[in-house]
């Protein structure tokens, strides 16, 4: 048990005073490269610019300038446009729901949206503006939108110093770190995405912090279980949880760290390292606590806050189960749910399409257009509006007691439904429905004609009900299974032709397990005695309680299902293959007046540099593998280790945040690549370093008590480094300014200017000038 403390003490003992002492005695063994840089500079090896740039003071200066620039570029004209842009429609609305405390449903975890809500509340937004559609004016509605936009802009700006720090901590020189930071700093896509009420800027910020913390933690690996080690490990877990809770894509960051940790643990397990298995378990438990238990706790915590804030009924109710809905104040179920008794007159609604089960005296045509024949029975359709023809009466198929609870309709009862106006019973039979040969036609049959009694029997199956559970309006979701043929009453958004007044088709579906066969009783219009109950009579209005974990579980499953279900096509959706090459962007917002538009697209120069960086790095790794296979070692060992371990980690981040999208069926957009783009900027930086110089900063990990001192090296990228980076940054900034009107949405552009800014002909910009007749 004394192991870690022991190490800790030794480390502390060596820490502050010892460090200084060793510097005094033998500066060459001091591993801290910042000090080393200062030392080298002091040593008078040269006061040339490239050495000055590598000092600690220069580093602080560079970070300061970059950060200031980042804030400037992200906050510039942040109030423009004063209209709802792109997905602000969703995320702004969610913030409003938090302020109003109305329950909503979304596929993404709540952290960022909570922060938006907090920001909105902080700047005095009352939540009444509902961000209904793109282009709605904020100014007219007096929404303090600038305050809300400032939050992601701040996150986006702070990402820049974090990127710089990641590179710095990984042992690259200041200039190279500045290069990577510039790739993000001057990137139009990152800027456009940060200036609006969108989830990506916080996601990317937390992701970069996760990477940063993990690198800091890795560097302390020889001082295991020291306070600093624990600190950075826990920080990694915390930021990882924040990333994951910001947006569902954050799960990829979790996977990245997971893979890195597994590799790390695999190394510790290696017997050649000479560790005991107890030691291994200690490491394992430390990581399990910090990277599994802690993040899960935080994730749950954010959901706990989410559910504690949203206690009122809202637009998200209908996604949830009735039990969940009854925990929300003012929920319709809570207010109106009542038990249904036999002979009650009710209306029945389809859960997905919200149409009433309807019938009218008109009959199905004998012959359809495609030549099939119908039974020519009375039509049964789905109808979206209130109508007397929506009324159905529940007829029992068993003996009922005179009064009392025995008359309540229960789960698994077999019932008949009587259409009140025509006094006919609902029936289905083995006749093809009007539009689907595979499904059964639904019609009705006169009440007094008992010849087809069996075909009018339906099995009432309540969803998630206990045996004998009573059927309630609103909350009692049910399926109606036809007894003889085992089909479920079903409808879908498909119109019938004119002969049914274009109402929705209702038919019997064989796949009774499908969720789309769920209906619910909307209202009781009259009981057997003909009396109508008023809403006031119905009891409890106090919300019910439900276990947090149950609520959480239900919400998680729904989020997953809906995320997978987002497959509708979108004109600006694009496949993952297009992203690294910036083949297409997304039109966020347009305004005809002044020909203004916001078009999400990156800085082409920067993106190509990043993509080239990744390609070159993969090429280097491949060449190294091939060469080593043939017994040649082209790269010196320390440099090779740096390439594989540090740049390799960046590549891992890139790959894990990129390739899973190929497997996803859901609609994908360019902004899903932004986390990967950040990783590729890191790769590009280290590739530039490798190209410029074969030297590295070494060692960068902190020495442990038992680590052998290594002769330190200093990266020297010479004068060409700063020059290359400076020239590149100038060009990037130039291109950024050139495309900026598309990023900031101002100033407006003429048709010719738009055409000129269409750097790739696959970009679909608005207001492009018509080409004159050619050919």
Instruction: Give the x-and-dash track for 261-300 against other proteins (CB under 8 A).
Output: -----x--xxx-----x-----------------------
Q: Least distance from C-beta 438 to other proteins, angstroms?
A: 6
Q: Where are the beta strands (DSSP E) in 399-482?
A: 414-419, 424-432, 440-446, 458-462, 477-482
- Residue 401 or 665 with smaller CB distance to other proteins: 665
**What are the angstrom distances between the C-alpha of 246 and each of 110, 135, 152?**
6, 26, 12
Find the binder of other proteins among 385, 398, 545, 629 (CB under 8 A).
629
Nearer to other proteins, 82 or 624 (CB): 624
Choosing from 21, 564, 626, 769, the residue that interacts with other proteins (CB under 8 A) is 626
The DSSP bridge partners found for residue 383 are 356
Write each residue from 479 to 498 as x if it is in contact with other proteins (CB under 8 A), else as -, in one continuous string: -------x-----x-xx---
Q: How far is the CB of 486 from other proteins (least distance, A)?
A: 5
As beta bridge partners, residue 418 has 393, 425
At closest approach, how far in Å is the CB of 628 from other proteins?
Answer: 9
770 lies in the binding site for other proteins (CB under 8 A): yes
Interface with other proteins, residue 751, by CB under 8 A: no
- What is the footprint of other proteins within residues 644-703 (CB under 8 A)? 663, 665
Closest contact distance (angstroms) between CB of 514 and other proteins is: 8
- Provide the mask over 408-447, with x wherever binding to other proteins is found by CB under 8 A and - wherever it is not: ----------------------------x-x---------
Cβ proximity to other proteins, 220 vs 487, nearer residue: 487
Q: Count CB neighbours of 404 within 10 A.
A: 9
Longest dimension (CA), the chain: 109
Nearer of residues 529 and 773 to other proteins, judged by Cβ: 773
CB atoms within 10 A of CB 203: 29
Q: By CB under 8 A, how many residues form the interface with other proteins?
A: 31
Q: Chain-centre distance of CA 138, in angstroms?
A: 26
| 423's tokens | 């006094």
Spatial distance between the Cα atoms of 130 and 133, rounded to a whole number of angstroms = 9
> How does 44-72 read in b/e, with b if 16+ C-beta sit within 10 Å?
eeeeeebbebbbeebbeebbeebbebbbe
B/e letters for 722-759, b = 16+ CB within 10 Å, e = fewer, are bebbeebbeebbebbeebbbbbbbbebbeeebbbebbe
What dihedral angle (degrees, nearest 10) is formed by the CA atoms of 651, 208, 87, 662?
Answer: 20
Spell out a b/e string for 156-188, using b for 16 or more CB atoms within 10 Å of the CB, else e. bbbbbbbbbbbbbbbbbbbbbbbbbbbbbbbbb
What gap in Å lies between CA 648 and CA 683, rounded to an integer? 8
Region near other proteins per CB under 8 A, out of 240-248, 447-455, 628-636, 639-647: 628-636
Sequence-distant (6+) residues with CB within 8 A of 35 are 23
Taking the complex as a whole, the smallest distance from the CB of residue 511 to other proteins amounts, in Å, to 5
Q: Specify the stretch interacting with other proteins by CB under 8 A; choose among 136-144, 233-241, 253-261, 627-635.
A: 627-635
Q: Which stretch binds other proteins (CB under 8 A): 144-152, 255-263, 332-340, 767-775?
A: 767-775
Nearer to other proteins, 275 or 738 (CB): 275
Is the peptide bond preceding residue 457 cis, with omega within 30 degrees of 0? no
Given candidates 511, 633, 694, 752, which one binds other proteins under the rule CB under 8 A?
511
Residues in region 552-571 near other proteins by CB under 8 A: 569-571
- Based on the shown chain and the rule CB under 8 A, indicate whether residue 755 belongs to the binding site for other proteins: no
The residues that touch other proteins, with contacts defined as CB under 8 A, are: 266, 269-271, 277, 436, 438, 486, 492, 494-495, 509-511, 514, 569-571, 626, 629-631, 663, 665, 761, 764, 770-771, 773-775
């Amino acid at each position: 048990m004394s192991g870690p403390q022991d190490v800790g003490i030794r480390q502390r003992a060596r820490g502050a005073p010892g460090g200084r002492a060793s510097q005094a005695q033998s500066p060459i063994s001091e591993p801290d490269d910042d000090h080393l840089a200062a030392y080298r500079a002091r040593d008078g090896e040269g006061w040339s610019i490239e050495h000055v740039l590598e000092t600690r003071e220069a580093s602080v200066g560079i970070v300061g300038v970059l950060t200031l620039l980042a804030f400037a570029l992200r906050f510039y004209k942040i109030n423009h446009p004063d209209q709802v842009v792109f997905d602000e429609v969703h995320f702004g609305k969610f913030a409003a729901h938090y302020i109003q405390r109305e329950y909503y449903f979304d596929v993404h975890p709540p952290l960022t949206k909570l922060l938006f809500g907090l920001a909105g509340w902080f700047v005095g937004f009352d939540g009444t503006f509902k961000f209904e559609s793109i282009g709605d004016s904020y100014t007219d509605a007096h929404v303090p939108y600038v305050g809300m936009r400032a939050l992601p802009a701040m996150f986006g700006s702070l990402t820049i110093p974090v990127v710089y720090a990641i590179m710095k901590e990984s042992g690259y020189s200041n200039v190279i770190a500045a290069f990577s930071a510039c790739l993000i700093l001057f990137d139009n896509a990152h800027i456009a995405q940060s200036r609006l009420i969108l989830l990506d800027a916080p996601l990317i910020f937390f992701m970069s912090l996760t990477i940063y913390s993990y690198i800091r933690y890795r560097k302390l690996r020889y001082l295991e279980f020291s306070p600093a080690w624990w600190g950075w490990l826990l920080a990694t877990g915390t930021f990882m949880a924040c990333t994951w809770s910001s947006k569902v894509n954050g799960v990829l960051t979790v996977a990245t760290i997971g893979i890195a940790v597994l590799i790390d643990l695999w190394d510790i397990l290696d017997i050649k390292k000479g560790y005991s298995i107890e030691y291994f378990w200690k490491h394992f438990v430390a990581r399990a606590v910090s990277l599994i238990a802690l993040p899960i706790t935080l994730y749950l915590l954010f959901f706990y806050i989410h559910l504690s804030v949203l206690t009122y009924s809202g637009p998200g109710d209908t996604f949830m189960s009735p039990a969940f809905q009854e925990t929300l104040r003012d929920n319709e179920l809570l207010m109106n749910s009542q038990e249904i008794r036999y002979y009650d007159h009710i209306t029945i609604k389809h859960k997905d399409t919200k149409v009433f089960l309807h019938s009218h005296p008109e009959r199905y045509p004998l012959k359809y257009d495609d030549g099939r024949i119908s039974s020519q029975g009375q039509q049964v359709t789905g109808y979206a509006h209130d109508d007397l023809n929506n009324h159905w009466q529940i007829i029992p198929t068993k003996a009922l007691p005179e009064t009392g609870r025995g008359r309540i309709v229960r789960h698994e009862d077999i019932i008949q439904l009587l259409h009140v106006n025509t006094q006919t019973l609902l029936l289905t039979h083995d006749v093809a429905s009007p539009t689907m040969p595979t499904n059964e036609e639904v019609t009705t049959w006169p009440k007094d004609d008992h010849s087809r009694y069996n075909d009018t029997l339906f099995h009432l199956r309540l969803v998630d009900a206990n045996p004998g559970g009573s059927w309630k309006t609103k909350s009692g979701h049910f399926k109606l299974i036809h007894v003889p043929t085992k089909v479920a009453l079903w409808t879908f958004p498909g119109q019938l032709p004119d002969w049914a007044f274009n109402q929705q088709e209702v038919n019997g579906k064989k796949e009774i397990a499908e969720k789309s066969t769920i209906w619910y009783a909307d209202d009781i219009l009259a009981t057997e005695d003909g009396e109508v109950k008023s809403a006031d009579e119905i009891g409890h209005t106090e919300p019910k309680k439900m276990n947090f974990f149950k609520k959480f579980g239900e919400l998680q499953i729904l989020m997953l299902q809906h995320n997978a279900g987002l497959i509708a096509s979108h004109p600006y959706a694009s496949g993952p293959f297009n992203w690294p090459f910036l083949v297409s962007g997304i039109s966020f917002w347009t305004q005809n007046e002044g020909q203004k538009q916001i078009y999400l697209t990156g800085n082409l120069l920067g993106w190509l540099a990043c993509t080239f960086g990744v390609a070159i790095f993969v090429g280097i790794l491949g060449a190294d593998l091939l060469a080593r296979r043939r017994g040649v070692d082209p790269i010196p060992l320390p440099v090779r280790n740096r390439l594989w371990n540090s740049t390799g980690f960046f590549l891992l981040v890139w790959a894990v945040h990129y390739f899973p999208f190929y497997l996803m069926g859901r609609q994908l957009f360019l902004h899903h690549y932004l986390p990967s783009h950040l990783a590729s900027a890191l790769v590009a930086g280290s590739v530039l370093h490798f190209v410029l110089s074969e030297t590295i900063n070494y060692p960068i990990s902190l020495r442990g008590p038992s680590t052998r001192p290594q002769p330190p090296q200093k990266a020297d990228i010479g004068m060409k480094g700063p020059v290359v980076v400076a020239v590149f940054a100038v060009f990037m900034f130039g291109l950024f300014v050139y495309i900026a009107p598309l990023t900031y949405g101002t100033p407006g552009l003429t048709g010719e200017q738009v055409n000129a800014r269409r750097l790739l002909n696959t970009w679909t910009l608005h207001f492009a000038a018509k080409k004159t007749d050619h050919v």
